[in-house]
Copies of this chain bind each other. A is one copy, B any other.
Amino acid sequence: MANKIRMGMVGGGSGAFIGAVHRTAAEMTGDIELAAGAFSSDAVASRAFGVELGLQASRSYGTFAEMFAKEANLPQDERIQCVSIVTPNDSHADISCAALAAGFHVICDKPLAGHLEDAIRIEDAVTDSGLLFGLTHTYTGYPLVIEARERIAAGEIGDVRRVAVSYLQDWLSRDEDTKANKQAIWRSDPARTGESGAFADIGTHAFNLVEFTTGLRITEVAAELRTVIPGRAIDDDGAAMFHLSNGASGLLSASQVCSGAVNALRIEIYGDSGSICWAQEEPNTMTIRHRGQPDQVFRPGANVGYLSDAAIAVCRTPAGHPEGYIEAFANLYAGFARAVRDYPAQNGTGCASVADGIATMRFIRAALTSSRNQSAWTKLASG
């Protein structure tokens, strides 16, 4: 339909997991149309894949540079309005900067970049262009994560005292895992994933979830990153103690070698008058506990009167109709599409911001520094 937001994609070619999720999520919004793409570093494969997806051959590009150049020359009501970047981390900066320079808004998979310095380049480009930039920290798209943020902001659990967040997986738990699987190979290659492995890939989700829900900043860490599987060039497991900007303490762990853990992101936030617990694998429940009261189990739903407006706004169905990961992802895309429509107003994209992404990169840097320094407490450098 003519009036959808036109999007170009970079990356996400044949066999890529996250690219397909981005496309489905964008499609699910009913508000975004995939209009162009450069899907692979192999130009021939890239063009073929675009056609396979149903794109016009003329807009199935061989490279992102070609796409940006040619699309910029199309009439304004035909050319893409935004770019979705779903490539390995170390290319995020170059592609983002090129897209922004060509005048396209950017929505980018996490983490923001492979290295802090690249992330800062992106930040500068966003500032210079005045264009929109959204980072897809998926888990903040879940209604109950938004509800947690709203309730904590409203004081429901009082001042935060202690946080526990863990993100554990097992898909890299064996030596061969990083040798056979396309997804795994680049994630364990410093040249493509950047300065960190597990901490960059999933530790940043855990970090972002803490800051998103509590509204606090993680100010310093005492961390230990490890390479459990011999021979890997990068961390595949790690943990940290951390301090929050209000003086609270917390524990964070991120591992891709914990056998039996599938995609186990879990957060518990304890305040002086209550606590909140949420786990990604059962995202349709969130438990709030107050001392001396029955536990309360919250559920999402577009008709659930006890939820905040912000949570209700991202529910598609009435209570009792579970929504999941793709819906959470689609909520990010829906917010981003609205922001594109509203531009040049800048009311937020519904995604993590470039500043949030910079914070995750400073977290990785501080964790690595701490880890190399016998887990000494290390401050996250300020912006």
Partner-B contacts on A (CB < 8 A): 1-4, 17, 20-21, 23-24, 27-28, 30, 53-55, 157-158, 161-162, 164, 166, 168-171, 173, 222, 224, 226, 228, 237, 239-241, 249, 251, 253, 255, 257-264, 270-275, 280-284, 287-299, 301, 304-306, 316-327, 374-377
CB-CB under 8 A from A295, the residues of chain B are: 260, 296-297, 299
Provide the residues of chain B in CB contact with A270, threshold 8 Å: 168, 255, 258-261
Q: Which residues of B contact A305 (CB under 8 A)?
A: 292
The count of identical subunits is: 4
Chain B residue, CB-CB nearest to A53: B1
Q: Contacts A260-B275, A297-B297: A291 and B173 contacting too (C-beta < 8 A)? A: yes
Task: Please give, as numbers and ranges, the residues of chain B lying within 8 Å of A292 by CB-CB distance.
Answer: 304-306
User: Which residue of chain B lies nearest to A301 when distances are taken between CB atoms in the complex?
Assistant: B262
Jot down 27 A-B pairs with beta carbons below 8 A, ordered by A.
A17-B318, A21-B317, A24-B28, A24-B30, A161-B257, A162-B253, A164-B166, A224-B249, A251-B253, A255-B270, A258-B270, A259-B274, A259-B275, A260-B288, A260-B289, A260-B291, A282-B282, A282-B284, A282-B322, A284-B324, A287-B297, A295-B296, A317-B326, A321-B326, A324-B324, A324-B327, A375-B377
Considering the chains assembled together, what is the distance between the CA atoms of A166 and B171 in angstroms?
25
Which chain B residue lies CB-closest to A226? B249
Residue of B nearest to A183 (CB): B318
Q: Are B317 and A325 in contact (CB under 8 A)?
A: yes
Q: Would A263 and B319 be within 8 Å (CB), given that A54-B2, A164-B253 are in contact?
A: yes
**Which residues of B are found within 8 Å of A322, using beta-carbon distances?**
280-284, 322, 324-325
